[in-house]
Structure formats: C-alpha cells, structure tokens
Structure 1
C-alpha cells in the first residue's frame, strides 16, 4: 500500500480506538440505543458514499459493489462465502446464551479477532475502502465496549485499555496472517470472503443490534438486505 493509504488506515484505527474509549466511559450513562442508531446511520451513509465516489468514478481498485459482484460459481466459492457468515453468527449467538461470563467474554474476544482479520483482508483488497470501513464502524466499537463492560463486571481499572489495544492487536494479527499467506491466497478468495462478511453484517449483525431494538421498522435496513441478497445471488448465479 502507498504511504498515504497507510496513513489513512492508521487514522481509521485511531478513530476505532477512541470510539472504544468513549463507549467504555460514556456507555453506562447514555445507554446503547443512541450508538446503535448512529452506527446504522453512518453505515448507510457510507454505502451511498461508496456507490457514488468509488463506483461512479474511475478506479483501478476493486470496490464494494465489485467485491459483491464477483462471480465464482463453484462449491469452493460457496464454502468461502458462508465461512465468515457461520463463524461470526455462531459466536455472536454464543455471546448471548453462554452459561458463564468468562465463556461469553471469550467468545466475544474470538469474534473480535476474526473481525480484525476480515477487516484487514478488506484493507488489502482495497486500502481506501478498508479505511472508510474502520471510520464508519467506529460507533460499533462503542457498543462493543459497553458489551464487554457488562460481561466483565465488576469492571476492573484499565480494562478499556486492554480492549483498545486488543482490537488493534487483532488487526495486527490479520496483517501477519494475510501477508504471510499472500502468496498462497488469490485476490479472488479475498473477494469471496469479503462478500460473505458483508452478508453477515447485513443479515445477522445489524438485525441483532438494530432491528431487534427498534420500536418501528427502520427503512435504511433495506439497503443492507439488498446488499446481502446481491452478494449471495452473485455467488450463486
């Protein structure tokens, strides 16, 4: 990546870390719903910015719609597509019904680790899109910080600091794994994994965190449903 792309990625991770800090300290006072709504709003705006800025203007990098539109109709591609969906949704559900706080915290940590690897994959496919994704999902870090605070009661001093550096460490792990396997895994595989991850975000993550907490149907959610369906159909067709 260029030095400018690395700078943008660093700023994105800084925003993610600051959001984690704010969520840890302000979450108990403000509650989760305002942050969940801001997450939905920012992600929706991000999709429209992606459509207009990246897809309607000339670009040599694969973009969000290009990733979702990538066609590789084989059994292997379906396995790649559904691997992030199954892993992330399974861990997300386990956090809710695990019998002990330690198991819930462990599942939540593993989910963050996988998400860090996937986010770095996105940064490798398209550095600018990966950086934008970090900025746009910073409100999600607020919700994560509040969740971990609930799971780790009584809260210990410095736990938020562990969470901040933990999230950045997962991105670092993604860097090591993906750069180490870069010669073995093609760009097509990265594209397919990203399509599955975005499908997970559209159908599972936002449903559990946004729609289920809403008093009335949220119209922008249709954007994410369309994303997920398009990603799945383009793999199957």
Structure 2
C-alpha cells in the first residue's frame, strides 16, 4: 500500500511538472487584423503561448504583438520561402529564440513602429531567407555562452536598416576564440544604428564583411577581449 501511494505521488508530481499547454498552431489570418494575439488568426483558434510551435503561411503578414519564446524543442517555421510569409516586429514585439529552439522562416522585418526586441540565445537554430528591408528599428540581442553564439543564417539579403545590436558576453570565455560570427548572409546592406557589448568591460570590432573563407562573408564581432582596469598602487 505504501509503495502504491509513493508511485501515485510520483505520477502526480510528473503531471504537475509537464507543460500545461503545448500545440502546433498554423497562421490563417481568420480575424483579418494580422495580430498574433487574436486567437481566430490561428488554427486551432487560440493565440500561441510559450511552449507552442508555430507555422506561418502566405495568407498575410503576421504581427507579433506580445512577448513570445520559442522554447527548447519547439519551432517557428513558414510554409513558403522568400518574402511570402512575413513576420513583423513592432514596438510590442518581444521574441526570444531560446537554447534548443528552432526558427526557420522566409521573411522577418521591423515595421510600423520601432522598439521591437529579438533575443537569440546560444545553442539554437536560426534561418531566414531575408531580413529587414526598411527603416524601422528593432533591437537584436545575441547572448553568448562560454563557447559562442547562435549564428543567424540568412540566405538572401540581410538589411540591418537602423537596428540596434547588443552582444551579451557575460558568459563568454575568450580562450575559445576572439571572433564570433553573428550573421552568415547571402547579401548585406546597411549598418547598425548602435552596437553595444555587455558587460561594459568587453571590447571588439564589428566587421560587416568578415571573410569566413572562399568569399563566404558574414557579420562578425572580431578582436574580442575583456578590458581590465589598471591597478594603481597608492603609497
């Protein structure tokens, strides 16, 4: 009897620890307003929450209008390539690609209002056909672990417009290299409106045409080092 009670307790604990909601949702623009938060824009009719996977379709642009995380084992994909499935980042957008998550879509760009956030954690998979093509600014943050960052693979044009770039090197071990490849692109245009390295003691050079070999160009942070203040001895 005691063993039965113990097994039941373990089973209940596992159920409580499991995600309460995990689904694959497909964009259908049923509400006709382009907003992610409108449940009837999805099949089934519910807005995505953390833990869901999402498939975009070419029915219309979709505007992410809240905070959403592509969690480990989950994905954001699109049904077509090119610019048919447009994901819009706007002021209310806060998209995080978490470690172990997958993002593979045709087209993403900041549009309508500045201030959208896109955070890319290490150990994820990130592919787009095109990015940008506008003057609206978002903030793109690459977070490093000890060995590096997730490299963004953009097979078409990567247009940074006036975006702001942050590279978080808090956990980076520079003994693993002084170069981090951020974006591997087909073609590239524009320069970031601002570039910030955190913590503030980190230094580096942003190279928009870093040659990975055989003319394969990328945006990379090079010459990375941690600057330490000089020790002043007071006599």
Larger radius of gyration: 2
Give the structure with the larger strand fraction.
2
TM-score normalized with structure 1 length: 0.20
Give the structure with the larger helix fraction.
1
Larger relative contact order (C-alpha < 8 A, sep ≥ 6)?
1
